[in-house]
Structure 1
């Protein structure tokens, strides 16, 4: 972490490419030059006893800011919608504070957001997702947007691009509210980490042939892994490498005509 970034790390990420800070005239001009509009998708759900409910949305906010700023250095124009802070989180509902949309509602929200920007002349939407529960409704929404609104949708589940690097750094058990997510929040919003509650999570193995119903069936505190292994300096490097990989993949798809 650098001193130059310390102030922005205390609040929401802000970039010159944020549509939420533009007037309608500025947004209209941005849409004309946009290679894509980015929608960061998160959630509001429990993240154990040491992290806030906003973890996934904070990740989506800061990681999408990193993405659009890095894109400019490649002569790619990516403009960013405000982060969608609610997702499909039914499996966390036994923990207070969790807010969930139904899969059907969430899918419709994404379709209507996409339809809105398509109506303004946008050709391409990039979904940058940071919550696993959103994956299926996002993919169904992407299908509809392509078929019904002729909107090209690129789906990026951020963790998929970082998975090998995360496993190399943290091993196999770095998931929900664990080593990885704690590292990200310590990097961007250390003021929100309850240090006194960072502890190895009490978990049981996931079933091999049955889907669990609620997350408290597999974890006592609400998380996985060992948050005491968090390493914000390592995650900063992983974020830089993952951002580059995502942009490489996006550019390759554009070059291939997708």
Structure 2
């Protein structure tokens, strides 16, 4: 299990080392998380922790799939407007978030990066990241790959935890206990009571859905299951990226 620091981290490189890494890497990876409430037992950094550690897993496993990755610093702030009624949440506007990601991509393109992978761990970022990917693909020479980690893990997570394992629930609690158990408030873990979502509309704020801020049952957390899911999902993502590159996408 890797630390969050890897030998392929841009933030630790000099400009000469960065130039060499750009020349030898197949993709640059931008991990994208959020700072937002995760109920009363997990830290606001949960999604950013996931982006940090899961991108480190990708970097470590990439050579086994014929790939070399250059990892950019994790973007900690996301689009989290729906959590703003819970203290501690920080959100960027949708427009600011899209612009920030586009400008990060433009910077990397200016230095010669050909392919950029978004590794996302926050559902609220999906739509603005898709918009940023479209802009970068049309306005620069970058080829953008977009991976929402949970989409690749969904089948394994449903098999392990059933339904309702989402925000701050079984899955995310298992993850933080696996990588940063010191940040889990064990005495605060309890089943999260949530309303059944409507069929014909969404909600404006998450406190309309759940009083504590989470979904699922954190007391069902299982670090052994999570470690297996992380390994399987890391392989799935790298296989998919390698296949897309091989196919000329």
Under TM normalisation by the shorter chain, which class is it?
over 0.9
TM-score (norm 2): 0.99
Indicate the residue corresponding to 1:206 in structure 2: 197
Indicate the residue corresponding to 1:70 in structure 2: 61
Give 1:74 shift.
2.6
Describe how 1:221-240 pairs up with structure 2 within 5 A: 221-240=212-231
Describe how 1:98-137 pairs up with structure 2 within 5 A: 98-137=89-128
Give 1:72 shift.
1.9
Please provide the CA RMSD for this pair: 0.9
Whether 1:138 aligns to 2:120 is no
TM-score (norm 1): 0.95
Unpaired runs of 5+ residues, structure 1, are none
**Whole-angstrom CA distance in 1 between matches of 2:30 and 2:132:** 13
Give 1:34 shift.
1.1
**Whole-angstrom CA distance in 1 between matches of 2:21 and 2:58:** 17
**Whole-angstrom CA distance in 1 between matches of 2:65 and 2:91:** 37
**Whole-angstrom CA distance in 1 between matches of 2:227 and 2:8:** 21
**Whole-angstrom CA distance in 1 between matches of 2:130 and 2:86:** 27
Indicate the residue corresponding to 1:28 in structure 2: 19
Indicate the residue corresponding to 2:238 in structure 1: 247
Give 1:75 shift.
2.9
Query: Once superposed, which parts of structure 1, at least 4 consecutive aligned residues long, lie more than 3 Å away?
Result: none
Give 1:150 shift.
1.7
Q: 2:35 aligns with which of 34, 44, 47?
A: 44
**Whole-angstrom CA distance in 2 between matches of 1:72 and 1:23:** 23
**Whole-angstrom CA distance in 1 between matches of 2:204 and 2:224:** 35
SS of corresponding position for 1:164: helix
